[in-house]
Structure 1
């Protein structure tokens, strides 16, 4: 297994001249995700290309005087993706740097996300057996992420994609952080690690070395600084993200907890709302919220506004109506408000809801609950998108943006958002 770790794989530099970008899949606070491929390659696989506006990043930097924190966040996310060698997590397939945009490409999942899949069900809910499959894979994905010292902090159905083989892929690590002084109580089993390494890209050992190319010095300086973005992230305005919570305090890298106010409103843990500091346990709380939503079709603490939602998260117990089942018991224990009493990974895996699960064999299930339809990917007619112009037009000045909203959506954009998270979408 050591020789696998020692192998290097260069992450390719992407160029628009070599890419066929056919449609926009969704937008986030800073960028747009496009469907793209390199037709010159033999396999010409479809990729999800996340493109972020340099102008918007620099404008935010001037507004909050954050000295490059927005660049650090983009670089940090790319470096996190470089670490992954697991079937349930994305591969970093290439990076993109131009005078107008920065970004990266990962594997494209044609099965959409769990939220879209749930809404296709007759009663807009999943059965216990289907929930068990997706829950087991989420536990495995989070266990692996935690073993790298990364706290995810944005688990929600919109960030759980369905791959072509029916297995999940956890995406969008924009809000993740590294807690250097604490490790989770367990790490992935050797069998799972071998499987992940044999199937997916090997870590680039040179990922933290300074590039020789200085064309975009400002961006590359942060990408190679070795400093995680949490040291200087600032609070974003509510106007930019009306129902998504961003960083409001700097991270404390010298402790085993983070004090950032970050996440997506319906899914944030009580300790984040209370500002008491948080660690890996916040991801298990969010898992409880996701399982509740899969079972009942709604999140457990949503109020009429953010203030009421946060009040419910801090004070209310989840309404687990229906007969007592192992699933409801698992949800109740995950939604324990005291993080010290909340279940962690080994206890979760031993819970009665997962009784009979062979954890080393979960990834080998040949027939997951839902297999995406195969066929030609959705195209924006026969026109190839000019990505830089598209992103520049979408992320223009605030006045232009207001006028744009009044006039309708940008042509070619396929919205992929929900009421709970209008702007933070991958």
Structure 2
């Protein structure tokens, strides 16, 4: 497995996503939509999370059991129909970082069902578990949410030891990339899609809701 991005570039982007998730969770909200498509690079080179329509407010119990999400980023506890807190966001964060590092997700298949089966049955593979990044990934991709690295433990992980979070929050760190845009409304970097395309629904949602073992 060959790295797609250098660790320092992944660190810059990963820290911003982790800070955003930790802040959202501190407000009693889980995002439930962590994926590449929802991470935008602004004109200033810093990230923004978009598309909060799947977010859930946990102000009553601090937990939920909603079964939604892209199969690639679906956490094991969601597949098992369990009640969960913010843990699926950190699992999906781990999947996203894995993609940045290795160029492909750790769990794959020829169709959504095969991907979900891989998530439940297989273990993520790492090229060097002695590296700080792979160490973090191995903690984020633990199937048991009780043992998964989350929140402040992510931000305090040794992968971020040399990062100045105050400078990052103040946007004083030079971004590794600036998108080529003429204005805030320039959409040339986005794919053109038809406005009336049908939504793709994965049958796993109904299966999990009825607690049926489908493999």
Please give the residue correspondences for 1:19-168 in structure 2 after superposition, counting only pairs within 5 Å. 125-168=4-47
Correspondent of 1:375 among 173, 182, 206 = 182
Q: CA deviation at 1:131?
A: 0.3
Contact 2:3 2:101 (C-alpha < 8 Å) held by counterparts: no
1:206-257 superposed Cα distances (whole Å, 9 cap, x missing partner): xxxxxxxxxxxxxxxxxxxxxxxxxxxxxxxxxxxxxxxxxxxxxxxxx332
Q: In the alignment, does 2:140 pair up with 1:362?
A: no
- Give distance in 1, aligned partners of 2:62 and 2:181: 45
For structure 2, the 5+ residue unaligned runs are: 202-215
Change (3 A) 1:167 1:423: farther
**Residues 164, 336 of structure 1: CA spacing in aligned structure 2 closer, same or farther, 3 A cutoff?**
same
What 5-or-longer segments of structure 1 have no aligned partner?
1-122, 182-254, 380-412, 417-421
Partner of 1:268: 74
Residues 288-328 of structure 1: CA deviation (Å, up to 9, x unaligned): 00000001111111111222211211121101124631000
Residue 257 of structure 1 corresponds to: 63
Distance 1:328 1:150, change over 3 A: same
1:127-150 superposed Cα distances (whole Å, 9 cap, x missing partner): 111000000000111111111111
Residues 11 and 160 in structure 2, CA contact (< 8 A), matched pair in contact too: yes
- CA shift, 1:281, in A, is 1.0
Q: Secondary structure of the equivalent of 2:147?
A: coil
**Post-superposition CA distance 1:372-414 (Å, at most 9, x none):** 12426358xxxxxxxxxxxxxxxxxxxxxxxxxxxxxxxxx80
Match of 1:347 in 2: 153
Name the larger-Rg structure. 1
Specify which of 52, 60, 65 is matched with residue 173 of structure 1. Answer: 52
Give the TM-score normalised by the residue count of structure 1. Answer: 0.42
Question: What is the count of residue pairs matched by the alignment?
Answer: 191
Do the aligned partners of 2:16 and 2:47 also contact (CA within 8 Å) in 1? yes
| C-alpha separation in 2, matches of 1:126 and 1:340 | 30
Return the alpha-carbon distance in structure 2 between the equivalents of residues 333 and 166 of structure 1: 28
Pair 309,330 (structure 1): closer, same or farther in 2 beyond 3 Å: same
Shift of the 305–378 alpha-carbon distance from structure 1 to 2, 3 Å rule, reads: closer
Matched, 1:336 2:142: yes
Query: How high is the TM-score relative to the length of structure 2?
Result: 0.82
Tell me which residue corresponds to 1:302: 108
Structure 1 pair 168–316 and aligned structure 2 pair: CA distance change class (3 A): same
Distance 1:155 1:378 in 2: 22
1:338-374 CA distance string (max 9 Å, x none) = 1111112121111110112222221323421111124
CA distance in 2, matches of 1:323, 1:177: 34
| RMSD (Å), alpha carbons | 2.2
